[in-house]
Amino acid sequence: MKFYDRTKELSILKRADELKMSRGIMTFVIGRRRVGKTTLLLQPFTNDVKLYFFISRKDESLLCEEFTDEIESKLNITIHGKISKFEEIFKLLLEHSKSTPFTIIIDEFQEFTKINPSIYSTIQKLWDLNKECSKLHLISCGSIYSLMKKIYEDNKEPLFGRADFKLHIQPFRVSTIKEILEDYQALSPQNLLDFYILTGGVAKYIELFALYKAFTKDEMINEIVQENSIFLQEGKNRLIEEFGKEYGIYFSILSLIANSKTSKSEIEGVLERNVSGYLYRLENDYNIIKSIKPINAKPNAKLQKYEIVDNFLLFWFRYIFKYQTLIEVGNFDKLKTIITKDFSTFSGKLLEKLFIDLLKEENKYTNIGSYWERGNQNEIDIVAIDEIDKELLICEVKLSAKRLNLNQLMEKSQKLLLAYKGYKVSYRLLSVEDSLKICTF
In a domain, 183, yes or no: no
Q: Answer yes or no: are the C-beta atoms of 95 and 133 closer than 8 Å.
A: no
Instruction: Please give the DSSP secondary-structure letter assigned to residue 100.
Output: S
- How far apart (Å, rounded) are the C-alpha atoms in residues 47 and 101? 10
Per the domain annotation, does 2 fall within a domain? no
How many C-beta atoms lie closer than 10 Å to residue 64's C-beta?
21
Q: pLDDT by residue (tens digit) across 226-241? A: 999 999 999 999 899 8
Find residue 54's DSSP bridge partners: 107
Residue 303 has what pLDDT?
84
134 and 277 both lie in a single domain: no
Q: Which domain holds residue 380?
A: 360-438
CA dihedral 150, 152, 153, 155 (to 10 degrees): 90
Q: Please tell me the predicted confidence (pLDDT) of residue 259.
A: 95
Are 386 and 277 found together in one domain? no
319 and 364 share one domain:
no
Is 374 in the same domain as 416?
yes
Taking the alpha carbons of 46, 47, 49, 54 in that order, is the dihedral positive or negative?
A: positive
| Regions of the chain with pLDDT less than 50 | 441
CATH number for 38: 3.40.50.300
Residue 5 φ/ψ region, left for φ over 0, alpha for ψ in the -120 to 50 degree band, beta for the rest? left
For 86-123, the pLDDT digits (tens) are 999 999 999 999 999 999 999 999 999 999 999 999 99
Residues 320 and 372 placed together within one structural domain of the fold: no
Q: What is the pLDDT, as a whole number, of residue 103? A: 97
In a domain, 320, yes or no: yes
Q: How many CB atoms lie within 10 A of CB 186?
A: 18
Distance CA 396, CA 380 (A): 6
CA angle 257, 357, 344 (to 5 degrees): 50
**Which of 168, 184, 218 is the endpoint of a domain?**
168
Strands, DSSP E only, in 243-358? 289-292, 305-308
Per the structure, the count of domains in the chain is 3
**Does residue 204 lie in a domain region?**
no
CB within 8 A of 383, min separation 6: which ones? 295, 368, 369, 370, 371, 392, 393, 394, 395, 416
Inter-residue contact 305 to 292 (CB < 8 Å): yes
Of 329, 351, 384, the last residue of a domain is 329
- The answer to whether residues 365 and 427 belong to one domain is yes
Structure confidence at residue 38 (pLDDT): 95
What count of other Cβ atoms lies within 10 Å of the Cβ of residue 334? 14
- Give me the phi and psi of 204, to 5 degrees please: -65, -40
115 in the same domain as 35: yes
Do 136 and 22 reside in the same domain of the chain?
yes
In a domain, 354, yes or no: no
Burial of 278 (0-12, 13-18, 19+ CB in 10 A): buried
* Amino acid at residue number 112: F
Confirm whether 294 is domain-assigned. yes
Q: Alpha helix locations (H) across 76-202? A: 86-97, 112-115, 119-130, 145-153, 174-183, 189-199
Predicted pLDDT of residue 439: 54
At 277 the pLDDT is 96
The answer on 105 and 58 residing in a single domain is: yes
Same domain, 364 and 324: no
Instruction: Say which CATH number the domain at 284 has.
Output: 1.10.10
Q: Is residue 317 one of the residues assigned to a domain?
A: yes
pLDDT, residue 241, reads: 85
Q: Is residue 393 part of a domain?
A: yes
Q: Which of 144, 168, 192 is the last residue of a domain?
A: 168
In a shared domain, residues 302 and 367: no
Q: What is the pLDDT of residue 441?
A: 39
* Domain identity same for 26 and 94: yes
